[in-house]
């Protein structure tokens, strides 16, 4: 859990149906695709959408969110590293 996020998440409404769609998309991916989303080309995305009962747009949306979340986590890690480096004296 990210510090301070627990309080913020208590007020967030979570749509269970959205999570079911996300779960279906992820379960429709092969282990290799889950490990390395850059493998996903058009035909793979089409297969995943069909297998999950969603659209290619929804598959692309999930992949974009995953990429953005990864970028945010890397930035947070870098910021935390800078803070720790500044405390050492």
Q: pLDDT by residue (tens digit) across 14-29?
A: 778 888 999 999 999 9
Tokens of 33: 């695709």
Helix (H) or strand (E) holding 13, with range, is: none
**pLDDT for 1:** 46
Question: Could you tell me the CA-to-CA distances from 53 to 43, 63, 66 in Å, in that order?
Answer: 15, 16, 20
Residue 60 makes CB contacts below 8 A (sequence gap 6+) with: 45
| 27-61 per-position pLDDT tens digit | 999 999 999 999 999 999 999 999 999 999 999 99
Residue 11 tokens, joined:
């007020």
User: Distance (Å, rounded) from C-alpha 46 to C-alpha 84?
Assistant: 44
pLDDT band, residue 82 (cuts 50/70/90): confident
pLDDT band at 7 (very low <50, low <70, confident <90, very high): low
What is the distance between the alpha carbons of residues 84 and 86, in angstroms, rounded to a whole number?
5
What is the CATH code of the structural domain delimited by 16-87?
Answer: 1.10.260.30
């Amino acid at each position: 859990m990210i510090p301070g996020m627990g309080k913020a998440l208590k007020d967030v409404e979570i749509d269970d149906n959205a999570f079911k769609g996300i779960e279906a998309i992820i379960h429709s991916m092969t282990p290799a695709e889950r490990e390395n989303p850059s493998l996903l080309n058009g035909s793979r995305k089409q297969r995943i959408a069909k297998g999950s009962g969603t659209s290619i747009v929804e598959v692309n949306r999930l992949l974009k969110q995953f990429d953005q979340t990864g970028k945010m986590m890397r930035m947070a890690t870098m910021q935390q590293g800078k803070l720790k480096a500044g405390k050492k004296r």
